[in-house]
């Protein structure tokens, strides 16, 4: 809704057009000399009207500062999507990543000039192996889903090396959507395993699906409902008994880092989202990074490049090895270059500054915070698995508490915006009706979590009062934009920007 002002601004909340709508012919932030006259080799394709905006330096600065003010971020307030989207990024990590020796690297520099960088990657890999309790690690994957691809490609390579053609991948119904997508991408047929009444994978249904055509199982632990899969070791034993492999989705490692080692649980491959557990920026910020730890059974198939240590020198293995050499059985290269160097620096800075006791406390405090939210709100909201014991790092609510009010989970989430909170994850996991999945993380103070709990309790009681329907149906009323019509946007998407009709700038 456009405010009733001459400028279209709402006080100091400035309405910002696109950069392309700001341009004025002739405006420029730099003076460039005329290009030298050269013979064109563009075959008549050269043109002057490529449509770049013409703006001065202060216009560019103001444009991006104004946009940044519309951003809700972890630096502004509690962010209930938690490590899943982004937890606090300690500033020390940023300082380390900007050291010239790390920040100014080029991936094609000769090995002899980047020994420190290779040592850092190697050291980070070492600590990932220690924390997962697994003997090998692949650093290249660019994010969590890329790590899944890496792990499942290794599983496929391991079966092929044994001359076996296995076609089915077992995946619980509560899994992240990337798990079945990864399995399908690698040519496996996805076979969904139902959950049980306690929100865990149904072990007997899982065992009933086992057979010689099963390549493996992909299980997230803690799972997407924020619950620990306490039968995980039986799952590992059962999948190994038929010659399959156990892929663990490590998206929720934040809850168990320093407390439980996936290698001890029987896992064969697990990706670790450095941009979740190890605090590197993402969710609109920096790139992700998803190294994969491997068991001894899958280690030979890890992708290239890999780093090996020869005495005090570090060497990159970039090509498939000869017989008996590292990389002999590798499934090959997964991407260009060696991985997300800037994220490696930040993740290692996070590990070193916390130490083993600090990392353990990260997991303990994250779980404590989530259980505090769950226990405080169980009576006013509805927690579908609230009586099955403590949760891990996420507190899950469903929409039973909204039954009969005419208010949906989406309305409830939108009302949180008016209260100054970004909503939590809604409608995921799909197995829970109207899910509201909350992850406060370990870095919020008790006062901050208390204020958040108080807000949700207030809204839950308002929803049930029967007299405040408009508060929810009209929300958000106080945000820069009112509720967007998601349905219209999905049914009639506008995919291409077109210039507005020329308007007077007065």
346 and 278 Cβ atoms separated by less than 8 Å: yes
Q: Which of 487, 496, 504, 505 binds another protein (CB under 8 A)?
A: 487
Task: Give CA–CA dist 216/234, Å, rounded.
Answer: 14
Does 486 engage in binding with another protein (CB under 8 A)?
A: yes
Does 494 engage in binding with another protein (CB under 8 A)?
A: no
Q: Which of 6, 47, 491, 496 binds another protein (CB under 8 A)?
A: 491
User: What does residue 351 show for φ and ψ, rounded to 5 degrees?
Assistant: -65, -50
Does 490 engage in binding with another protein (CB under 8 A)?
A: yes
Closest contact distance (angstroms) between CB of 189 and another protein is: 11
233 and 241 Cβ atoms separated by less than 8 Å: no
Closest contact distance (angstroms) between CB of 180 and another protein is: 11
Among the residue ranges 28-36, 215-223, 265-273, 485-493, the one whose residues contact another protein (CB under 8 A): 485-493
Q: Scanning the structure block, which residue is given the tokens 């590990």? A: 351
Task: Give CA–CA dist 58/303, Å, rounded.
Answer: 46
Does 495 engage in binding with another protein (CB under 8 A)?
A: no
Closest contact distance (angstroms) between CB of 410 and another protein is: 9
Residues whose CB falls within 8 Å of the CB of residue 54, separated by 6 or more in sequence, listed in order: 23, 24, 25, 26, 27, 28
Q: Scanning the structure block, which residue is given the tokens 């070193």? A: 352
Closest contact distance (angstroms) between CB of 142 and another protein is: 24
Q: Which of 430, 446, 454, 465 binds another protein (CB under 8 A)?
A: 430
Does 427 engage in binding with another protein (CB under 8 A)?
A: yes
Question: For residues 467 and 487, which CB has a smaller minimum distance to another protein in the complex?
Answer: 487
Task: Give CA–CA dist 345/335, Å, rounded.
Answer: 19
Task: Give CA–CA dist 396/378, Å, rounded.
Answer: 10
Does 165 engage in binding with another protein (CB under 8 A)?
A: no
Closest contact distance (angstroms) between CB of 494 and another protein is: 14
Question: For residues 224 and 340, which CB has a smaller minimum distance to another protein in the complex?
Answer: 224
Specify the DSSP element, H or E, that contains 58. Answer: helix 57-69
Among the residue ranges 198-206, 305-313, 324-332, 487-495, the one whose residues contact another protein (CB under 8 A): 487-495
Q: Say which DSSP state 333 is in.
A: B
Does 484 engage in binding with another protein (CB under 8 A)?
A: no
- CA distances for 361 relative to 98, 193, 264, 352, 357, angstroms: 27, 33, 20, 14, 6
Please give the residue ranges that form the binding site for another protein (CB under 8 A): 427, 430, 486-487, 490-491
């Amino acid at each position: 809704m456009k405010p009733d002002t001459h400028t279209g601004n709402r006080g100091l909340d400035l309405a910002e057009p696109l950069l392309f709508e700001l341009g004025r012919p002739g405006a420029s932030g730099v003076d460039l000399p005329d290009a030298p006259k050269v013979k064109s080799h563009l075959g008549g394709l050269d043109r002057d009207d490529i449509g770049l905006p013409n703006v001065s330096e202060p216009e560019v600065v103001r444009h991006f500062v104004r946009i940044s003010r519309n951003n809700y971020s972890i630096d502004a307030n509690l962010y209930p999507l938690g490590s899943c989207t982004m937890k606090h990024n300690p500033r020390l990590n940023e300082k380390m990543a900007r050291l010239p020796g790390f920040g100014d690297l080029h991936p094609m520099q000769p090995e002899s000039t980047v020994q420190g960088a290779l040592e850092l990657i190697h050291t980070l890999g070492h600590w990932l192996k220690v924390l997962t309790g697994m003997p090998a690690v692949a650093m290249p994957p660019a994010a969590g889903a890329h790590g899944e691809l890496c792990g499942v490609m290794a599983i496929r390579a391991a079966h092929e090396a044994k001359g076996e053609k296995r076609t089915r991948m077992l995946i619980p119904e509560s899994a992240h959507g990337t798990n079945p997508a990864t399995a399908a991408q690698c040519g496996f047929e996805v076979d969904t395993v139902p959950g049980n009444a306690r929100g865990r994978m149904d072990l007997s249904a899982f065992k009933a699906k086992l057979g010689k055509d099963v390549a493996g199982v992909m299980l997230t632990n803690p799972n997407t409902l924020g619950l620990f899969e306490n039968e995980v070791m039986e799952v590992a034993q059962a999948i190994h008994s038929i010659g399959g492999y156990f892929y663990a989705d490590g998206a929720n490692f934040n809850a168990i880092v320093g407390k439980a080692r996936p290698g001890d649980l029987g896992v064969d491959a697990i990706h670790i989202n450095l941009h979740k557990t190890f605090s590197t920026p993402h969710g609109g910020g920096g790139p992700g990074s998803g190294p994969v730890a491997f068991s001894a059974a899958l280690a030979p198939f890890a992708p290239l490049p890999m780093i090996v240590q020869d005495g005090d020198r570090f060497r990159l293995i970039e090509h498939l090895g000869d017989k008996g050499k590292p990389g002999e059985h590798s499934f090959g290269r997964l991407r260009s270059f060696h991985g997300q160097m800037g994220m490696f620096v930040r993740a290692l800075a996070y590990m070193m500054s916390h130490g083993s006791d600090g990392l353990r406390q990260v997991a303990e405090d994250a779980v404590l915070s989530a259980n505090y939210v769950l226990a405080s709100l169980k009576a006013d909201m509805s927690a579908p698995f609230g009586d099955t014991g403590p949760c891990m790092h996420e507190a899950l609510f469903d929409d039973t508490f909204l039954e009969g009010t005419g208010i949906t989970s989406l309305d409830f989430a939108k009302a949180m915006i008016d209260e100054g909170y970004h909503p939590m994850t809604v409608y995921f996991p799909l197995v829970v009706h109207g899910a509201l999945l909350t992850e406060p993380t370990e870095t919020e103070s008790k006062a901050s979590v208390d204020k958040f709990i108080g807000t949700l309790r207030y809204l839950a009681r308002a929803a049930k009062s029967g007299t405040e329907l408009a508060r929810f149906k009209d929300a958000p009323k106080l945000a820069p934009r009112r509720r967007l019509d998601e349905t219209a946007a999905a049914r009639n998407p506008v995919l291409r920007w077109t210039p507005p009709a020329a308007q007077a700038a007065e």
